Each structure stands twice: as C-alpha cells, then as structure tokens.
Amino acid sequence: MIDYNKIKQEYKELSQKLSLDTTIKDRENYQQLAKRFSFLEKIINLINNLENLQNEKKQLESVINNSGEEEEFKNLAKEEVVNLDKKIRTIEKEIENKLFEEEEPSGDVIIEIRAAAGGEESALFAADLFKMYSKYIERKGWKLEVLNSHPTEIKGFKEIIFSVKGEGAYSRFKFESGVHRVQRIPITEAGGRIHTSTVTVAVLIEPKEIEIKLKPDDLKIETFRASGKGGQHVNRTDSAVRITHIPTGIVVSCQDERSQIKNREKAMKVLKFRILDKMEREQTSSISKQRRVQIGTGERSEKIRTYNFPERRVTDHRINLTLYKLEEILEGNLDELFDRLIEEERKKIYQMKGLTTITQ
C-alpha cells in the first residue's frame, strides 16, 4: 500500500524548510528542495481528491447499509459507488505513475532515426517513423526540434536527429531504441513483392555540460557552403558547419539552418549525443546493469518491433504484443503500445523488489 501519511509528512517538513532563511541563502539546496516540493504538491492534490472520493463512498455505503432507506434510493447509491470506485482506481494509478516517473532521468530527449537494411525503402520508412513520432509529440503538447537530417530524393531520410522537450518524454520514448522492421511492398518495386527493411532508432537524454565537457583543443570546427535545397543562401554563404571530435574521430555536420550560429549550436548537440551514445555502447557492463529491468536491452542490434503492412499489424517482440492497428499507430496513436511496455517493465521491477507496488 502507498503510505500517504508519509508523503504528507515530507510535504509539511519541506514547506517549513523552504521558509527558513538558511535554506533561502543556499541557492543550490533551495532549488533542489523547491523542485521536490513542487513534485510533492502535485501528489498531495491527487491524495486530497482521492480522500474526498473515499469519504463520499463511505457516506454512500452507510446509506446502502441503512435498513430504513428506500430500496430505490439504495440502488442509486450502489450505482454511484461503482462510479466512485472507477474514479478512485484512476487516481490511485495516477499517483503511482507519478511516483514511478520521478525516478526517471529528466531532461530533453534526443532521438536518432537511421536507415539500415533496404536502401531507399529503408529511408522511406525512416521518414514514416519520424512522422509517427512527430504526430505523437504534437498530441502530447511537447516541443520537437530537428537537429540534423539527410533527406533522400524521394522524401526519405538516410538519417534524422531531433530533440523532444516535454515532461515525461523520456519515460515514453526510452522503449524505442533498437531495430524497427517493416514488411511491405515498396513504391519502388514494380513486381509487387513484399520486402523487409530495417531502421535503427537510438534514444538518449540530452547530455548536460557537466556530463560531457568538450575541450576546445579536441574540436576541429569547419564551415562550408550548404548544398541541396535551401533557397537563395545555398552556395552563397558558408552557413554549414562541420565539427570533428579529434579524440573519438566522430564527425558531425549541420546545414539545416540558414544561420551558421544555429547550425553550430545544433551540431554541438548532435556531437554530444554521438559521444554519449558511443560511451554507452562501449560500457556494456554498465549499460546492462542500468537497463536490466527495462524491456529489452535497447541495443541497436536488437529487433524490437515489426510493422507488417499486408496484415495491418504491429508486433512488439519484447512483450509478444500484436496490435492490428497499423494505420492508427503510424498516425501517432502510441499510448496503448507505450502503456503496455511500461506495464511490463514495472512488473519486472516489482518482481525484482518483491513488491506489488513501488511504494511498499
């Protein structure tokens, strides 16, 4: 059971601490406490709503158990109790979700989609995945920013990297790392045969300056004239930027923006992402420890999902889930899929801790 009294007590103690002069003078400590207080305040509001519903339910149950009440009135009370039970379960789940998500790392998410096996068809499906994620991000009210892209002539993507800013974004998108397989008849296939192509997706929290410190001497920064589509500025100004991280040999270029400053800023974000991605893939033992309770390993070599167009199905291989809702999912309706993945991950966590809820 969730110990609501413990949460209330911590909220009360934090409220008192935040009003002390010694706390206010220590800016770093104050910010940490204020962040925790803000989080607990949301939980307290939910607990208050929950307790109001529980009290209302008790009153109705006393009516039901009162032998002096009319049967018709009792039946109305019973119907209302059923409705209240649904509301109570919803709030209890919401509280548990918030307590669980607090343990997730915070920050902007960076997602890389890259065409793999399948040539142009793979690049086209990379574009489909980007559209799917874009629509989901829009539904959630989050902010999307494209950092770098390499489009193809037939509107596919060899690679596209973008950031997602929004509360809870990582807790949803973290499941997307891995190989996404598509089975369909390509528009480039005259014979009408079903082809199988793959796209890789990598998802990471955007590294902060303190997490990845790049020494100026380790960077080779070059500018060049943008090529391809882009308007009158193309081939007239050196707006494109290429950055080489000398110790790792990682090279990043960006020419999506007209401004050299913006291209440089985006290229630095992508460079940090690439370095962090390389570090995580090299430190396999550390990654295994961090992700052992997650659904799958999140490795790029792992096939996590199949999108089968002829059968209109999407299968997530990690949890043996098949949904015959291909069109809906590609339109960004991903919550049902993500909810099932989250549910399975929590089951593993509960089993590991020997709990039925995370707050026991």
Strand partners, 240: 224
What does the pLDDT read at residue 301?
56
Class of domain 109-207+291-353: alpha beta
Q: How far apart are CA 226 and CA 241, in angstroms?
A: 9
Residues in CB range of 125: below 8 A, 6 or more apart: 115, 118, 156, 180, 182, 197, 199, 307
Q: How far apart are CA 159 and CA 252, in angstroms?
A: 12
What does the pLDDT read at residue 296?
45
**Nearest to residue 325, comparing CAs of 342, 340, 343, 307?**
307
Q: How far apart are CA 161 and CA 274, in angstroms?
A: 11
**Nearest to residue 188, comparing CAs of 216, 217, 153, 147?**
153
Q: What b/e string do you get for 276-303 counting C-beta neighbours within 10 Å, with b at 16 or more?
A: bbeebeeeeeebeeebeebbbbbbbeee
What does the pLDDT read at residue 190?
62
Element (H, E) at 115: strand 109-115
User: Whole-model pTM?
Assistant: 0.65
Answer yes or no: are the C-beta atoms of 14 and 43 closer than 8 Å.
Answer: no
Domain ranges of the chain: 4-101, 109-207+291-353, 216-282
- One digit per residue, pLDDT tens: the chain, 360 residues? 578 888 999 999 999 999 888 888 888 888 888 888 888 999 999 999 999 999 999 999 888 888 777 888 888 989 999 999 999 999 988 888 777 766 666 678 889 999 988 888 999 999 999 999 999 999 999 999 888 888 988 889 999 999 999 888 888 898 999 899 999 988 767 667 888 999 999 888 876 654 567 788 888 888 777 665 444 444 455 678 888 888 888 888 887 777 778 888 888 888 887 787 777 666 544 444 444 444 444 444 568 999 999 999 999 999 999 999 999 999 999 999 999 998 888 777 766 655 555 444
Strand partners, 179: 200, 303
Q: How far apart are CA 284 and CA 294, in angstroms?
A: 15
**Nearest to residue 311, comparing CAs of 324, 293, 299, 322?**
324
Fold for 216-282, please state it: Double Stranded RNA Binding Domain (3.30.160)
